[in-house]
Structure 1
């Protein structure tokens, strides 16, 4: 402490240093007025020298510096090779079309001859540019579908979709392109008839041999009519009619589940075929009296 003249209280007083860390703030012992405010040369006050200067950031885990030597280890400062290695994702394995055809064939119980034909079709069309932009599963389903038609053992598009997960729209587009391509190559696709589906559907529904024979004869006569119904829809409605004339009746819901034809489609097809029942149903299976007992259209 030292004596100095205080301008506030107009007297000599002892100066008290209140900031021992810096030694820069002294005040009057009588009135407490700051009389000396000097900063020693060894004290650095960045904020007073440059108010716009940002305070220094502490070095820690969040600063992007690790290790005792202060080496930078942030993601931004990492080498490009290391960043690319971290971000690289494993590539999916190449699509195995032949393996997928084998899987679809196993799920649908398709014989080896149809599977081999589907493999041949896939070999011919897999490199075509329009097909490269299609879903691979849809292309496989279309190949199996066409092979079944060529072997006179057709399956429905919905069955193909259920076997490998492709959508009906995708399979239909791939099927149309492949069929046009094969026709230009001189291959016959084959025509679908309702009778080709009957025996398989009747077997799943547990129908007797007499009912199957009646259904086949009814379908054959129904195809001569101009009903504008798909073969699958015609097969489904004929099965419905034959089972309604037998002791083991099948509901529309059960037939729709097996044939994958919508219940509304079966009912509408029944309305179209109802006026012609006496023409298409064999007389040895049902008489006129039996036909009158059928549900009205």
Structure 2
């Protein structure tokens, strides 16, 4: 996509834009130069009339196939002078006061869009969450449930299906007060009911520890050297039967890697950055410890270095 100055390479290098994560990455060393970039797409260009009359453009927003009329409802308005501004007329206000059958969907989609923006998610994930919510809404069986939890669960499932998973804690942070427990229940409800409708299980996508590594390392401000080692280590760990969640393994690998570096991270800080409890990280470390000689890259730490790790 172009080039930019990389602080680790100390030169201008070619960069790659990860559209799913919103990250700008150095192609030579893998350093994240910019994270959570907004995915900007082309918009319609409009040209105002030089005479001062209203802008003659006749195109509105993009159609939305999930809405009854594609989202192309007519809004009645009256011009306000020659500045091109519009004020809703009384008739227009009456028209918009609850007559739109998709009003509930539109509000839900706006909430999903806000949550997506706060998490730095791209449009494909947001659109998938909208589709999931529309299917749930069509069943008319979700009434009485926590709406914020339901929308957050749709976004969680969408991230999984788009192979860019987020932790429940990350989703919870933008869920307007919905708790992890409520989001978890909503997720199970969606998976169950949509699965029954389709006659098959809802595909959730497989989570790997590596899916979270770059983001967690970025949260901790780790150097490119340690990020590279952690990424390799977590990938190698998949060869072993470590019966822990991918998120827990990622957190434990980060703990090991940082303990072998000059920039050691406290267990408390790793817990805050990953959302994994300190006790869970300790238990995962205990499971990984017997395999550290094979998991940790040899270029990062030798056998003597590994002996300095605390025995669990």
**Same fold at TM > 0.5:** yes
Q: Is the partner of 2:265 in helix, strand or coil?
A: coil
Give the aligned partner of residue 125 of structure 2.
114
Higher-Rg structure is 1
Cα distance in 2 for residues equivalent to 1:280 and 1:142: 34
More helix, by proportion = 1
Question: What's the CA shift for 1:220?
Answer: 1.7
Q: Which runs of 5+ in 2 are unaligned?
A: 1-102
Q: How many residues align?
A: 205
Could you report, residue by residue, the CA deviation over 1:28-74 in whole angstroms, capped at 9, with x for unpaired residues? xxxxxxxxxxxxxxxxxxxxxxxxxxxxxxxxxxxxxxxxxxxxxxx
Q: Show the counterpart of 1:176.
A: 188
* Equivalence for 2:297: 282
Greater relative CO, 1 or 2 (CA 8 Å, sep 6+): 2
- Does 2:264 match 1:253? no
Q: Take 2:238 and 2:154, find their aligned partners in 1: how far apart are those partners?
A: 27
Deviation at 1:122, TM superposition (A): 0.8
- 5 Å-filtered alignment, 1:2-13, equals none
What's the secondary structure of 2:235's corresponding residue? helix
CA distance in 2, matches of 1:115, 1:129: 22
Kindly indicate whether the alpha-carbon contact (under 8 Å) linking 1:115 and 1:144 is maintained by their aligned counterparts in 2: yes
The structure-2 alpha-carbon separation of the partners of 1:183 and 1:209, relative to structure 1 and needing over 3 Å to count, comes to farther
User: Is it true that 1:103 corresponds to 2:114 in the alignment?
Assistant: yes
The whole-number CA distance in structure 2 between the counterparts of 1:245 and 1:223 is: 21
Contact 1:134 1:170 survives alignment (8 Å) = no
The one-character-per-residue Cα deviations of 1:107-145 (angstroms, maximum 9, x if unpaired) are 212112211111111111124354323210111000000
In 2 relative to 1, CA 126–244 (structure 1 residues): closer, same or farther, beyond 3 Å? same
User: Residue deviations 1:257-278, cap 9 Å, x none?
Assistant: 1101111111111111111111
User: Per-residue deviation at 1:223?
Assistant: 2.1
Provide the C-alpha distance between the structure 2 equivalents of 1:126 and 1:224, rounded to a whole number of angstroms. Answer: 41
Q: Which runs of 5+ in 1 are unaligned?
A: 1-92
Match of 2:164 among 121, 135, 153: 153
- Between stretches 221-230 and 250-259, larger displacement belongs to 221-230
Q: Compute the TM-score of the two structures, normalised by the length of structure 2.
A: 0.62
Q: 2:246 aligns with which of 222, 231, 252?
A: 231
